[in-house]
Amino acid sequence: MNTQQTFDAGRSFDAAQYQQNASFVPALGDVILGWLAPQPGEHILDLGAGDGVLTEKLVAAGARVVAGDASPSMVTAAKARGLDARLIDGEALDFDEAFDAVFSSAALHWMPDAARVSAGVFRALRPGGRFVAEAGGFGCVAAVRVALADAMERAGVDANGAHPWYFPTAEHHRSVLERAGFVVDEIVVVARPTVVPAGFGAWLETFGKAQLARVPAEQRAQVLQWATARLEATLRDEQGRDVADYTRLRFRARRPALA
């Protein structure tokens, strides 16, 4: 299977749509950047770098960075920023002891084969190298998933197993990392309610493609409207902002140094 086939089913992004509807995602990456604390001269893989907004911060810190993403459109957008951007499938990494650190923000939940991802990252790191990441954790966007599933079922579409995301507990993901050989220094799942500035409808159109692909084209607008109305009734705050029920898995782990 090639990269594009692997990342179809809602996992391939259009950079223009992403910038319009989801620019809040990289804007919220500063916490995990702080956990990484990139150092001048370090060689870093940014896994799932998107259009490179956060990658530029790693470069500004003096690191040499490869921006890897599985969406051709995102890679093109990252190259336009002057970054070393490459089409990379996180579930089939092909590096050997090449990096001092692997960093990932808001991308690992799109890579459900976490064992393969972790093994590939482990191989990609030099001994002593670190893996620092943030992604959706257990319970992430649960209300959004339920609202969309309800709307799909109201339209007569089976929603079982439709969402494409990996949202583990900290305990589960710790065991995945340890099985790959990592020492886990810190791992948590925290709630982070997240304002989606373009609203729930735009969020669903941008991120819900895998689920909406199951809905016959002529019913999609209706399903989107039902789901959006349910979400607005539930998760619209006093200021009229749509606030999605995000959780964040955050961890820092390292490949043990040679004895």
Q: Does 136 bind ligand BEZ (CB under 6 A)?
A: yes
Provide, rounded to whole angstroms, the least separation between the CB of residue 255 and ligand BEZ: 25
Q: Max Cα separation, the chain? A: 62
Nearer to ligand BEZ, 180 or 249 (CB): 249
Q: Does 250 bind ligand BEZ (CB under 6 A)?
A: no
Reference 245, options 234, 253, 256, 254; nearest CA is: 234
Distance CA 210, CA 128 (A): 38
Q: How far is the CB of 137 from ligand BEZ (least distance, A)?
A: 8
Is 18 an interacting residue with respect to ligand BEZ (CB under 6 A)?
no
148 in contact with ligand BEZ (CB under 6 A): no
Residue 106 within binding range of ligand BEZ, rule CB under 6 A: yes
Nearer to ligand BEZ (CB atom), residue 125 or residue 141: 141
Residues 189-218 that bind ligand BEZ (CB under 6 A): 207
Per CB under 6 A, which region of 49-57, 58-66, 135-143, 217-225 contacts ligand BEZ?
135-143
List 165, 166, 200, 251, residue binding ligand BEZ (CB under 6 A) = 165
For the range 142-147, what are the long-range contacts, defined as Cβ-Cβ under 8 Å and sequence gap of 24 or more?
A: 142/245, 143/231, 143/234, 143/235, 143/244, 143/245, 144/200, 144/203, 144/204, 144/231, 144/244, 144/245, 147/227, 147/230, 147/231, 147/234
Does residue 251 touch ligand BEZ according to CB under 6 A? Answer: no
Q: Does 111 bind ligand BEZ (CB under 6 A)?
A: no
Helix (H, G, I), strand (E, B) or coil at 221: helix
